Amino acid sequence: MNKIITIGREFGSGGRELGKRLSQLLGFAYYDNEIITEISKRTALSEEYVNAITEHRPIFSYPIHFGNSFNAVNNHALQQNIEVFRAQSDVIKEMAEKSDCVIVGRCADYILRGEKPYRIFVYADENSKIARCREKAGEHEHLSDKQLKRYIKAVDKNRAQYYRFHTENKWGARENYDLCVNTSNTPVKDLAEMLSHLFF
Amino acid sequence: MNKIITIGREFGSGGRELGKRLSQLLGFAYYDNEIITEISKRTALSEEYVNAITEHRPIFSYPIHFGNSFNAVNNHALQQNIEVFRAQSDVIKEMAEKSDCVIVGRCADYILRGEKPYRIFVYADENSKIARCREKAGEHEHLSDKQLKRYIKAVDKNRAQYYRFHTENKWGARENYDLCVNTSNTPVKDLAEMLSHLFF
């Protein structure tokens, strides 16, 4: 059976860096945006759209008023979300079958629960996450600290809702993981090096 | 500055074993019951009594009826608890000053917060904790699984209340730790070996 490591992570916690470093140290395949690209191919939806869908709980309302166009739109969105989740499950299962791998995000811990992956959750305190976002020049440059805080919270809230919707489990609750790693006070490089020893 | 590792742990999770193994691998001092022995010496209270106090929130009521003997008893218990916590803080600080060390339980993570210890929390799922308790022949042998479950929950509830009372933090909440380790699916021996690499 292949060795599979799944990584859930708070936005700005360095979970992606941890996953990448770990995969390099171990010589494992690394899957992150590759999952989005593959779902996009299979569903003929754009990568941006798939990315948005796979980090948000679907918006939908119960069809109380049949024939109401608002509900029709929402139910279409729900159907699309379920279709994307199905493709996502297929893609992730196929990736896990191919070789030892590290998979970041996208409910992989839940989708692969039958394969007994090693489930890591990466988190950090607020100041540490803001500092990490600031280090990366890019789309968050124009945000004030207050705005960035709000943005980080919103992303994590969406991830939590998406996870809850598809898995019925609580995102980030320690009982759903084998290891919860705080990156606030320890370099990600050192944590990856430490973790690698569990899989040699 | 000495390297300090503190270990909070659910009852039956193997936290003590993890701490002991880690201290042996690293050549660090190991403190667990040694703390109780030392407090007992300093306060002239029996080890059993100190042990009971350091895992329970003090029972006390507000002195609404002055002179009421019930309150007098309760307030005496509270005073004793605070006295023991003070001795506990002194003992733990002295131990941490002496050499690199691993300290299990007793709010050491909070008491030593100024020294930036590496704070580990060890947990496991219910079945795994029951199995671990069963492995150790001893005081729990006569309990049914149902009784043992209740016992484990009660011990952890007391630890959580004691921690909350003295630190005002939530026991076991991931934000208060650098690493939360689930021992349900990974041998404690392997986890200790992995963790040791962070401190070489």
Element (H, E) at A9: strand A4-9
Q: How far apart are CA B3 and CA B115, in angstroms?
A: 9
Q: What does the pLDDT read at residue A64?
A: 46
A185 and B194 within 8 Å at the Cβ level: the answer is no
Measured between beta carbons, the chain B residues lying within 8 angstroms of A174 are: 123, 172, 174, 180, 182
B190, B182 Cβ separation under 8 angstroms: no
Query: What number of residues does chain B have?
Result: 200
Least confident segment among B1-10, B75-84, B114-123, B147-156: B75-84
Q: Is the dihedral of CA B169, B194, B149, B31 positive or negative?
A: negative
Secondary-structure breakdown of chain A: helix, strand, coil percentages, each rounded to the nearest 5: 55, 10, 30
Measured between beta carbons, the chain B residues lying within 8 angstroms of A195 are: 194
* pLDDT at residue A23 tops 60: yes
Mean pLDDT of chain A: 90
B193 and A197 within 8 Å at the Cβ level: the answer is yes
Measured between beta carbons, the chain B residues lying within 8 angstroms of A198 are: 186, 190-191, 194
A103, A7 Cβ separation under 8 angstroms: yes
B101-104 vs B4-9, strand pairing mode: parallel
- Give B9 to chain A, closest Cα distance, Å: 13
- Give B173 to chain A, closest Cα distance, Å: 9
pTM of the full structure: 0.92
End-to-end CA distance of chain B: 15
A29-31 vs A4-9, strand pairing mode: unpaired
Q: What percent of chain A has pLDDT over 90?
A: 74
Q: Report the residue of B5, B112, B178, B184 to disrupt the A interface, i.e. the one with the largest count of A CBs within 10 Å.
A: B178
Sheet holding B118-123, edge to edge: A29-31, A101-104, A4-9, A118-123, A179-182, B179-182, B118-123, B4-9, B101-104, B29-31
- A48: how many CB neighbours lie within 10 A of its CB? 10
- The model's pLDDT over B89-141, given as tens digits with 9 standing for 90+, comes to 999 999 999 999 999 999 999 999 999 999 999 999 999 999 999 988 677 77
Nearby residues of B46 by Cβ (< 8 Å), 6 or more positions away: B40
Q: What does the pLDDT read at residue B73?
A: 62
- The model's pLDDT over A43-67, given as tens digits with 9 standing for 90+, comes to 989 999 998 888 776 654 344 445 5
Is the model more confident about A3 or about A79?
A3
Q: Average pLDDT in the A10-34 region?
A: 97
- The model's pLDDT over B22-69, given as tens digits with 9 standing for 90+, comes to 999 999 999 999 999 999 999 989 999 998 888 776 654 444 445 555
Instruction: Give the DSSP per-residue string, A98-115.
Output: HSSEEEESTTHHHHTGGG
- Whole-angstrom CA distances from A17 to A120, A136, A183 are 13, 12, 11
Measured between beta carbons, the chain B residues lying within 8 angstroms of A172 are: 174
Q: How far apart are CA A69 and CA A97, in angstroms?
A: 42
Q: Average pLDDT in the A80-94 region?
A: 93
E strand segments, A17-146: 29-31, 101-104, 118-123
E strand segments, chain B: 4-9, 29-31, 101-104, 118-123, 179-182
- Helix, strand, or coil (residue B151): helix
A180 and B178 within 8 Å at the Cβ level: the answer is no
A132, A12 Cβ separation under 8 angstroms: yes
- Of the candidates B116, B118, B186, the beta carbon closest to that of A178 is on B186
* Crossing angle between the packed helical segments A33-43 and A69-98, to the nearest 10 degrees: 120
Measured between beta carbons, the chain A residues lying within 8 angstroms of B191 are: 198
Token digits for B47? 């080890």
- Helix, strand, or coil (residue B13): coil
A198 and B179 within 8 Å at the Cβ level: the answer is no
DSSP class of A198: T
Element (H, E) at A181: strand A179-182
What value, to the nearest 5°, has the Cα angle with vertex A106 and ends A166 and A84? 65
Radius of gyration of chain B measured on its C-alpha atoms: 18
